[in-house]
Amino acid sequence: QVRPVESGGGLVQAGGSLRLSCAASGSISLKAMAWYRQAPGKQRELVARITTDGRTNYADSVKGRFTISRDNAKNTAYLQMNSLEPEDTAVYYCLAESVRVNYWGPGTQVTVSS
């Protein structure tokens, strides 16, 4: 069983930065870790994803502002968010992907004030 836990969310002014962390406990090998977000009234969407060998992909809306990274030894993923905009306000969820099962974290709130 893998249990991702997010941290680092909070309230920040537009233009500011936050760094989210996701620690996935458990001994299972993960093939990728990803960050999703869900704003009120909207569907959950992929923000960024990173594989074990370091390949990344980003949503167009965050390219150039957000950076995903990973510590494979610790099963931990990070999301550095810069130049935050009010449109980035959402609950951010971590997804830990194993070969057979995906595991979601409970989420962390990010609020960007204008």
CB 64 within 8 A of CB 56: no
Write the pLDDT tens digit of every residue in 54-105.
999 999 999 999 999 999 888 899 999 999 999 999 999 999 999 889 999 9
- To the nearest whole number, what is the mean pLDDT of the chain? 95
Write the pLDDT tens digit of every residue in 77-89.
999 999 999 999 9
Write the pLDDT tens digit of every residue in 2-31.
889 999 999 999 999 999 999 998 777 889
Q: Give me the phi and psi of 72, to 5 degrees please.
A: -60, -35
With a CB cutoff of 8 Å and minimum separation 6, the contacts of 69 are: 50, 77, 78, 80
